[in-house]
Structure 1
Amino acid sequence: MENVSHEEQLESIKAFQSTIRKSENALVNMTQNSNNTTLLQKRLKALHIGAALLENVWNHEVEPHSYTKEEITEARLVLVGLFPSLESMYTKSKAGSPQKTLLERRIKAFHLAVQAMDTY
């Protein structure tokens, strides 16, 4: 896994936390409206796994998470599957905008999580 500054580590964790919060809020709204939540639940689990593995790698912990190899593999596929839409939104966002900065951090965080998943 690439060397990542402490600042980038914090930004990546914040990016995951923000995405998790937004996904949890969306899940509540979708559940109230009786919408199908299977895909969102799958993404939310992948986000939790990605965040946990990044913290694991950066805190040099041996085995603090309880995820199976299969769960990590599935989470990796989910995160990789999000890249095209994230990159599309990034391309369409205005230069220097807060949205573009947020997307940069989110994309970086997801790439780092995928790298961490590759080590398991």
Structure 2
Amino acid sequence: MENVSNEVKLDSISAFQSTIRKSENALANMSLQGSNTTLLTKRLKALQIGLAMLETAWNQRPHSYTDEEIAEALTVMTGLFPSLQISFDKAKPGSPQRTLLKRRIRAIELAVEAMDQLDSR
């Protein structure tokens, strides 16, 4: 985690913040429609924990998540990789969507790495 450039750090934090905002908006819309929000709620919490783990690793910001919450977030985020990879593969090379997905995948990889390091302490 120490060998990550400042640019990648900023991109990763920005990718998490963007994904969290989009998830919050989707959750609000789904709630209004009466849709089942269980999966999205789980993913949103995992994203929030992932962002907190990056900020803890890089900016020494404390977090208030339990080991159980972090373990659950790790499982949820690891489960996102196949669908993100499929979307990435389908996106047109050089497109903004592909760039966004590349940053999002990298950000989640780094958060998973931060959680793994925290777990191995």
Q: Residues of 1 paired with 2:3 and 2:29: CA distance?
A: 38
C-alpha displacement of 1:2:
5.5
Aligned to 2:90, which of 89, 92, 109? 92
Root-mean-square deviation (CA), in Å?
A: 0.9
Partner of 2:21: 21
Query: For residues 117 and 68 of structure 1, what CA distance do their matches in structure 2 show?
Result: 12
Matched residue, 2:113: 115
Q: In the TM superposition, what are the counterparts of 1:1-120 in structure 2 within 5 Å?
A: 1=1, 3-61=3-61, 64-120=62-118
Q: For residues 94 and 57 of structure 1, what CA distance do their matches in structure 2 show?
A: 33
The alignment of Structure 1 onto Structure 2 pairs a total of residues equal to 118
Structure 1 position 13, deviation (Å): 0.3
Q: SS at 1:39's partner residue? A: helix
Runs of 5+ consecutive residues of structure 2 not aligned to the other structure: none
Per-residue deviation, 1:94: 0.3
Give, as a single letter, the amino acid of the residue that structure 2 aligns with 1:32: L
Shift of 1:60: 3.3
Tell me the SS of whatever aligns to 2:3: coil
Percent of aligned positions with the same letter in both sequences? 66
Structure 1 outlier segments of 4+, above 2 Å: none
SS in 2 for 1:119: helix
For residues 72-107 of structure 1, give each alpha carbon's deviation from its aligned partner in whole angstroms, at most 9, with x where no partner exists: 000000000000000000000000000000000000
Q: What TM-score do you get using the length of structure 2 for normalisation?
A: 0.95
